[in-house]
Chain A
Amino acid sequence: MEAQEVQKNMSNDLSTHSAEVKRRMSKRLKKRQAAEKRFQFYGMAAIFTGMMFLVILFTTIISKGWPAFLQTSIQLNVNLDPEIVDPSGERNVDKLMQANYTKIARTALYAELGGKPKNRKTRKLMYKLLSRGVDVQIRDVVVADPSLIGKTVPIWLYAHGNVDALLKGAIDRNTENSSRLVKDQQLEWIDKLVASGKMAKQFNWGLFTHPASSQPETAGLGVALIGTFFMIIIVLLLAIPIGVAAALYLEEFAPKNRVTDIIEVNINNLAAVPSIVFGLLGLAVFINFMGLPRSGSIVGGLVLALMTLPTIIIATRAALRAVSPSIREGAYGVGASKMQTIFHHILPLAFPGIMTGTIIGIVQAVGETAPLLMIGMVAFVQDFPTTPMEPATALPVQIFMWATSAERGFVERTAGATMVLLAGLFVLNAAAVYLRRKYERKW
């Protein structure tokens, strides 16, 4: 249309109109070029937005989570009074487990802060500096080495969650005394302890070893890590053999007909079924029908194995397809049977690809939460499970439970646990990338 116009103008009056045409064309060109610039800018902005979200996500979690790896403790000279610890003198472990260690801890604290306060209220304020879990800490020391009974030993004991929050800056010391969780008198003691070096932040091993607890300072990921470990083992034991075998059949043996077509469509769809539906399957089949224990990591492992199966099948098929046909032909040429060709030549060459796919499947499974909620793995478990049949939780479920917990101190724990989860997934992903780089072959 416009080209015609230009032509007409040109033929009519070339000299007068050429300047006008040039001006209009360059104007139009500028507009088009501006549109081009704008379009490019939108693309860059989109990539920038995506990366920005990534940065925001990580900085939020790390800034909220790093304090969880430190725990405020108080060093006290604890007198392991035989009268309290072991009145019978038998050194019987069962009896040692049940002694009143809270009393010992409090006595040590009173001594440290200049005598037991007469006033009941002051006394309460004072012993509230210590966590409720300190008895377990002293007990562990005593049971590990009963010869310490009767001696005075310096032990680092957990401070109360509020004291911890104050030292990490989560509680503002400038708010009014009545509305502050740490009172003025406690502040005085804390300052004294910090000044003498008796109160300090230490690396929090307990975050990795403690079981569930209602107090943030003694809550840990111990049970969740064991549960996740069991589930990974079950997924590996079930999903790899079954997934690889299914992929081998579908890729190498299955005749191309309607049935195998349906299986193929089915596997692709299975990979996109919402994870929560797998949880319903686990509840209905494994728990209600087969009678497996609720909350046990065996059920979680089975459900996650079914979820990972399509991922592994799809990855394995791609890896098998990527092996050069020349290998196959060479094997047939020297008289190998089909089975020998596949198991002796194709499968070993496809192995790195299969491993990469498997790790990606495991990464998905480890981060999965919703199906585990369905099968009752969201539970307050204090006993360390020794077998997959016993109740356990998993890392992401523990994050969910802490995230929904009302107590303030759990926010930091949640972010800390998230960091542990992300670090674990990062290691797995790095392994996958390493395998791919190291063994990748171009045919």
Chain B
Amino acid sequence: MLKVFSVELRGKVSEVLSLYVTGFLTYILPPVIVIGIVYFIGKWKAQRLLKNQGVAKNTGTAANALSLHSRPPYHGAFLALVSFLPAVIVFCAWSIAEGPVIKGMVNSTLPASVGELEAGKQDLISSVIGTVENGLKKLDQKELALLEQAAQYDKEVNKAAAPVEPEAIRKLFEDKNIILAENPEPYVLSAALKSRSFTQFSTYGKYTLFVLMSIAAFMIAYSSIKLRLRARNGVETIVKWFLILASIIAIVTTFGILFSVLFETINFFQIIPPSNFFFGTVWDPRFGWGATGGDGNFGQYGFLPLLWGTLYISFVALFVSVPVGLFAAIYMSEYAGSKLRSIAKPALEILAGIPTIVYGFFALVTLGPFFRDAGAVVGLEINASSVLTAGFVMGIMLIPFISSLSDDIINAVPQSLREGSLGLGSTKSETITKVVLPAALPGLVGAVMLAASRAIGETMIVVLAAGIAAKLHMNPFDALTTITVKIVNQLTGDHEFGSPETLVAFALGLSLFIITLMLNVYALYIVRKYREQYD
């Protein structure tokens, strides 16, 4: 088997094994052992207390014999948690804070002239400092001395020639495979050296504090282990806080999405006014450098053509999927025997489990050319990537979504309604169309809205099948583009981050988020309310 692997892969296998084994031995195993030892110390102390108590009880020396409040393992867990948790929290906080603090301290040592430069230039300098600092690790003693010499040289103070040419330093780094954008200025080198010493200091401080805090907490917790210590309650409170923390992450994610996207969107709207974006009918981004050169013409970012394309394609998708999905659901819940149900339901669920990229590929290589050829036969000019292709394939994708949701909703309609209708002599189909469906209508509308929200947010099918032409036309046989396609296009190219060309993706993302959020909230509200009606 190994024979089929190339030399690179075989080399990687041994590299990976040694990397992960050493990583496990140095970073995972020791903490686990230490925590385990502390746990057993706590457990052992509790057990000893219990034993002594038992002895005291038997000999009758203890006036009021007490038993252990919590079982010994809880004492162990209590000791381990109390010993390390505060220290871990402080350690993490320090690790998060140290980066920005050190950066601020290093920046304050830079010459005043740097502070006057524009923001982009300053970022560049700090990134060069970072590169040099990382490179310092690869230098040996002699090269380091050379670098320190270069760092101390100040053009203003001694007008003599530099002891070490900046080119030489750059060459030094190049030999180590570290490419610097320009010859490093002396202040850059000295800042890198300072940054390194700050980081070292911070690291030592961090670890020392961690060890000291753990020892102190251990001592306090150890001495607090008594018979009546409510160790279980303590452990349970800590566990409960973990659970609360985990459920907060779900909220944090939503706000993370909202704020990260909102923040970049505001940046975008500072360059392109919102009215031009939301009411613009032309999509034509240009490469305008703005402040740093170029003609400053960023082109036009009209949202309407994209919105139109998105809605049009989603409409086609719903046009395909709603009748098929709805009828499939009706047949499965009202007519089909258990045999057909047991085949058809999983089969449709398979359709739901297929990744969208597969649908996209299907549209690209099979359905698109098929529609084009079929159109040519009947004399229609159908583009291989068109609204029809994208919408049709998306419709196939949505069939199981609609059918399973509608199935649930139709099944939730009380049987008494059906029986009443059938008892009056109506046929099954009349019962369904005149009684069941009207009763289920709000729920079905909710299901269709959920499907619409899916269609609007769908990406891979339209990226591969809809085309990139942002136009406003009604022809379903021609290409149109969508919001999601443009988000992908704007972010996968080689655009500079911070230019309107990439920032527009966030404005599009925010619009998409808000549209789908409104649809979802309303649809879920309808579905929920409707379900409760019959319970």
- Chain A residues packing against B (C-beta within 8 Å): 32-33, 35-36, 38-40, 42-47, 49-51, 53-54, 57, 60-61, 64, 97, 136, 139-140, 143-144, 205-206, 209-211, 222, 241-243, 245-246, 248-250, 253-254, 262-263, 265-270, 272-278, 280-281, 283-285, 288-289, 306, 309-310, 313, 337-339, 363, 366-370, 373-374, 378, 383-384, 386-387, 396, 399-400, 403-404, 411, 414-415, 418, 421-422, 425, 429
Contact = CB atoms under 8 A, between A and B. Distances in A.
B458 interface: yes
A263 B459 CA distance: 27
Nearest to B331: A43
Contact of B344 (A51, A57, A383): A51
A310 B250 contact: yes
Contacts of B249: 242, 246, 309
A386 B19 contact: yes
A404 B464 contact: yes
B247 A275 contact: no
B236 A337 contact: yes
Contact of A280 (B16, B250, B433, B487): B487
B246 A33 contact: no
A327 to B, nearest CB: 19
Contacts, number: 280
Contacts of B472: none
20 contacts: A39-B433, A42-B331, A46-B326, A46-B328, A50-B328, A143-B7, A206-B4, A246-B243, A267-B250, A272-B453, A273-B520, A284-B506, A309-B253, A339-B240, A370-B356, A384-B8, A400-B464, A414-B365, A418-B357, A425-B353
Interface in B333-357: 334-336, 340, 344, 347-348, 350-351, 353-357
Interface stretch (B30-38, B155-163, B511-519): B511-519
Nearest first, the 3 closest Cβ-Cβ pairs linking A and B are A274-B457, A43-B331, A367-B355
Contacts of B200: none
Given A273-B257, A337-B236, A387 B19 contact: yes
A289 to B, nearest CB: 7
B524 A265 contact: yes
Contacts of A374: 487-488, 491
A267 B252 CA distance: 11
B323 interface: yes
A273 B351 CA distance: 21
Given A43-B334, A60-B362, A399-B357, 14 more contacts: A35-B429, A39-B432, A47-B336, A50-B328, A54-B351, A274-B457, A280-B487, A280-B509, A284-B261, A337-B236, A369-B460, A370-B356, A414-B365, A425-B353
Contacts of A250: 247
Nearest to B236: A339
Contact of A370 (B246, B364, B460): B460
Interface string B402-429: 0100000000000000000000000111
A433 B348 CA distance: 16
A126 to B, nearest CB: 26
Interface residue tally on B, bucketed by range = 35 or more
A45 B335 CA distance: 13
A130 B338 CA distance: 57
B289 interface: no
Contacts of A369: 355-357, 459-460
A404 B15 CA distance: 34
A403 B464 contact: yes
B459 A265 contact: no
B154 interface: no
A304 to B, nearest CB: 12
Interface centre among B10, B484, B509, by most chain A C-beta atoms within 10 angstroms, is B509
A414 B491 contact: no
B457 A277 contact: yes
Given A363-B353, A429-B353, A50 B250 contact: no
A interface SS class? helix
A278 B354 CA distance: 20
A42 B327 contact: yes
B interface SS class? helix
Contacts of B134: none
B399 A140 contact: no
B239 interface: yes
Contacts of B488: 276, 370, 373-374
A284 B459 CA distance: 19
Contact of A285 (B260, B362, B457, B491): B260
Contact of A140 (B7, B236, B324, B521): B7
Nearest to B350: A54
Given A40-B335, A289-B260, A337-B236, A50 B351 contact: yes
B251 to A, nearest CB: 6
A344 B506 CA distance: 46
Contact of B459 (A42, A276, A425): A276
Interface centre among B250, B335, B433, B512, by most chain A C-beta atoms within 10 angstroms, is B250
Contacts of B344: 47, 50-51
A209 B9 contact: yes
Given A265-B521, A367-B357, A35 B427 contact: yes
B261 A241 contact: no
Nearest to B400: A50
A313 B6 CA distance: 42
Contacts of B336: 47
B362 A386 contact: no
B29 to A, nearest CB: 17
B230 to A, nearest CB: 11
A32 B426 CA distance: 9
Given A35-B429, A337-B236, A280 B350 contact: no
B533 interface: no
B330 interface: yes
Contacts of A249: 240, 243-244, 246-247
B471 interface: no
A280 B429 contact: no
Contacts of A265: 521, 524
Nearest to A137: B6
Given A274-B457, A280-B506, A422 B358 contact: yes
A274 B484 contact: yes
Contacts of B353: 363, 425, 429
Contacts of B10: 144
Nearest to B12: A384
B243 A411 contact: no
Contacts of B243: 245-246, 248-249, 253
Given A269-B520, A403-B361, A40 B355 contact: no
B152 interface: no
A32 B428 CA distance: 10
A50 B246 contact: no
B15 A61 contact: no
A374 B490 CA distance: 9
B428 A36 contact: yes
B341 to A, nearest CB: 10
B81 interface: no
Given A45-B327, A49-B324, A370-B459, A270 B250 contact: yes
Nearest to A310: B250
Given A47-B328, A140-B6, A284 B358 contact: no
B492 interface: yes
B264 interface: yes
B232 interface: yes
A262 B449 CA distance: 21
A361 to B, nearest CB: 12
A374 B264 CA distance: 15
Given A36-B429, A205-B4, A263-B250, A278 B365 contact: no
Contacts of A396: 355, 357, 460
B332 interface: yes
B251 A269 contact: no
B331 A281 contact: no
A270 B331 CA distance: 32
